[in-house]
Structure 1
Amino acid sequence: MPRILMERSGEMEVFARVVQDGGFSAAARNLDITPSAVSKLIARLEARLGTRLLVRTTRALTLTDEGEAYYHAALRILQELNDAEQQAAGGAVRGRLRVNTTIPFGTMFVAPAVPAFIARNPNVVVDLSFTDGIIDLVAEKTDVAIRMGNLPDSGLIARKLGQSRRVVCAAPSYLAQRPPPAVPADLERHDCLTFNFRRERPTWPFMLDGQEIAQPVKGSIIVNNGETMKQMALAGAGIARVGLFHVADEIAAGRLVPLLEEHNPGDLELIHAIYVGGGPLPHRVRAFIEHMVSALKESSLLVLS
């Protein structure tokens, strides 16, 4: 009978952490062991497999083709081991849950929903991070992210949570200085607030003469998150295009004015929960997503899937 290799899961966990943290020293800090111990474990793993998994230089750490394949397999196996342990413990929802989402959505919907989730699952620690920048879930060790807009092709799993209509709007103080745009082309003479995480020249979609067009826009202020954009719009700095859920109260109070509504093409902002696939979904992630689905049903500002 072959010898049982009791150390396999430990080697996999150390190897995966080295890849995720980008180096031996960072992995050692997170694992609370010495860098030399990490180096010895990786060397032992490579010797047992008979192949190099990592190419290490003074500046970078790179996966070989074999290392890339082993890394993805290790993630899947470790996730299955974690899920098996949870099932053996009665399917309990426990552990640290790392959640990332945009600043506006996180502030308005995620943060208010967390206390009820913790009340139902007291053995979970929720680690919240709000940013409008796109993060690498594996590198940032994030369990689930909630993202706005169309998703790029990736190996991540996505579940649609809902959608919100976008609206073009500006403050009365801004519109007092310049005539409101009557047609999309009028935006060329206006300061439009845009995001700096879009590489191409920004365009906004509109309907004109029965056809959808992409209207180029430009302005003096570029921001990296929706909350800052809303504040700039409220300050009269320009015209913004944001999710209606984010500015509904300001519009109702007259602090922002919708523009070009007759040319709005039904511009929708999709909302997805995304997570790393490759194995059974951990109970804490599944429970949180289901909790958010239930919480979002209470909002009149979103159209649920």
Structure 2
Amino acid sequence: MDRLDAMRLFIRIVERRSFTEAAHDTGVPRSTATTVIRQMEERLGVRLLQRTTRAVRPTLDGEAYYRRCLAILDDIEDAEGAFGGAEPTGMLRVDVQGTLARHFLMPALPDFFARHPRIELSMSERDHWVDPVQEGVDCVLRYGALPDSDLVARRVAMLERVTCATSGYLARYGIPASIDDLANHRLVGIRRLSTGNLAPVEFQVEGGLRRVEMKAPFSVTGPESYLLGVKLGLGLAQVPRFHIERDLASGALVPLLEDTPPPSAPVSLLYPRSRQLSPRVRVFLEWAARQFARREGTGGHEPA
């Protein structure tokens, strides 16, 4: 293995905190990964990694070498990409919320691969917060408020939300004429995986934002189960409009309190601050941002 590939392997080990995971990511046997790092440490004359039964962590020298390796490989990739219109190439790992991917990204993937045929895209789906460095992904697409982190966040959309319920539910509990009427209603709750708390029920009113406490006898952590609970008439909910456009058009779901809608929610692309953007990550970010912007231009409700 040449020195550049050895650097790539070392970077992946540091980020994955695992020889096994890094070997899998880079397509080499674990025994080879162990040998390469041992030879690297012997050549440099320092210990780069601390190995425990639970994880692998860089030493102080290893952390310094990790950052130098990042800079060197980023410079090489940028230099090669600056000549001859070089096409971005290699594996791109992204983690998305599945609902967003299916509505905004996947329908346009043929266009992406036509533009960038040398990129391989590995897309994982999770609805909870992930650390892209620890999980070994290049960027993350997330809906809603973001926790504090060292990641760079690029907002690509603000999604309009709708308060809604089924006609069957409304026949049983009545149609709320105002926010005050919600005291007699039930909520399908969605819980944040990070805290276990229910997402707040909020409305835009003159002068600001109003938050309402509601009974939520049924709550979930996933958006698909959340929407199914609403469709089953278990309560009312506040849902991104793009996710229920067909249900609203067919009358399966009824919009409520439209004069005081919920605040819109952001969609963000996130990537590590610790490194420059590689050409393949850069073209993916630009392409993904265009997909959200295009929806506004074709009658959707998501401004870029």
TM-score under structure 1 normalisation?
A: 0.84
Query: Equivalent of 2:104, from 106, 109, 119?
Result: 109
| Consecutive unaligned residues in structure 1, runs of 5 or more | 1-5
Q: Secondary structure at the match of 1:228?
A: helix
Question: Which position in structure 1 is the counterpart of 2:289?
Answer: 293
Q: Is the 8 A contact 2:161 2:264 kept in 1?
A: yes
Q: Residues of 2 paired with 1:191 and 1:39: CA distance?
A: 53
Question: Which position in structure 1 is the counterpart of 2:209?
Answer: 212
Q: Is the 8 A contact 2:158 2:266 kept in 1?
A: yes
Cα shift at 1:13: 1.9
Cα shift at 1:115: 0.8
Question: Which position in structure 2 is the counterpart of 1:269?
Answer: 265
- Is structure 2 residue 252 aligned with structure 1 residue 232? no
**Sequence identity (%):** 33
Question: Which position in structure 1 is the counterpart of 2:301?
Answer: 302
Question: Which position in structure 2 is the counterpart of 1:144?
Answer: 139
1:81–1:286 distance in 2 versus 1, CA, 3 Å: same
Q: Residues of 2 paired with 1:239 and 1:258: CA distance?
A: 10
Query: Equivalent of 2:242, from 234, 242, 245?
Result: 245
- Is structure 2 residue 90 aligned with structure 1 residue 95? yes
Alignment deviations for residues 141-174 of structure 1 (CA, whole Å, 9 cap, x no partner)? 3223222123333222222212111222111122
1:154–1:113 distance in 2 versus 1, CA, 3 Å: same
Q: Residues of 2 paired with 1:89 and 1:153: CA distance?
A: 40
Alignment deviations for residues 95-138 of structure 1 (CA, whole Å, 9 cap, x no partner)? 22223221221111100111111122222222222332222212
Q: Residues of 1 paired with 2:183 and 2:110: CA distance?
A: 43
Q: Residues of 2 paired with 1:140 and 1:18: CA distance?
A: 11
Cα shift at 1:233: 1.1
Question: Which position in structure 2 is the counterpart of 1:3?
Answer: none
1:220–1:158 distance in 2 versus 1, CA, 3 Å: same
Which residue identity is paired with 1:294? R
Q: Is the 8 A contact 1:168 1:242 kept in 2?
A: yes
Q: Is the 8 A contact 1:162 1:302 kept in 2?
A: no
1:74–1:242 distance in 2 versus 1, CA, 3 Å: farther
Cα shift at 1:47: 4.6
Cα shift at 1:286: 2.2
Cα shift at 1:37: 3.6
Which residue identity is paired with 1:276? P
Q: Residues of 1 paired with 2:63 and 2:215: CA distance?
A: 42
Q: Secondary structure at the match of 1:270?
A: strand
Cα shift at 1:304: 2.5
Which residue identity is paired with 1:301? G
Question: Which position in structure 2 is the counterpart of 1:134?
Answer: 129
Query: Equivalent of 1:281, from 263, 277, 280?
Result: 277
Q: Is the 8 A contact 1:131 1:225 kept in 2?
A: no
Which residue identity is paired with 1:234? K
Alignment deviations for residues 64-110 of structure 1 (CA, whole Å, 9 cap, x no partner)? 34434443443343333333333356321222222322122111110
Q: Secondary structure at the match of 2:13?
A: helix
Matches within 5 A, 1:1-305: 8-88=3-83, 90-181=85-176, 182-184=178-180, 186-187=182-183, 189-197=185-193, 199=195, 200-207=197-204, 210-264=207-261, 267-299=263-295, 300-305=299-304
Q: Is the 8 A contact 1:80 1:279 kept in 2?
A: no
Which residue identity is paired with 2:303? L
Cα shift at 1:201: 4.6
Figure out how many residues of one structure are paired with residues of the other and give that number. Answer: 299
CA RMSD of aligned residues (A): 2.8
**Which stretches of structure 1, 4 residues or more, deviate above 6 A after TM superposition?**
none
1:271–1:94 distance in 2 versus 1, CA, 3 Å: same
1:97–1:27 distance in 2 versus 1, CA, 3 Å: closer
1:30–1:160 distance in 2 versus 1, CA, 3 Å: closer
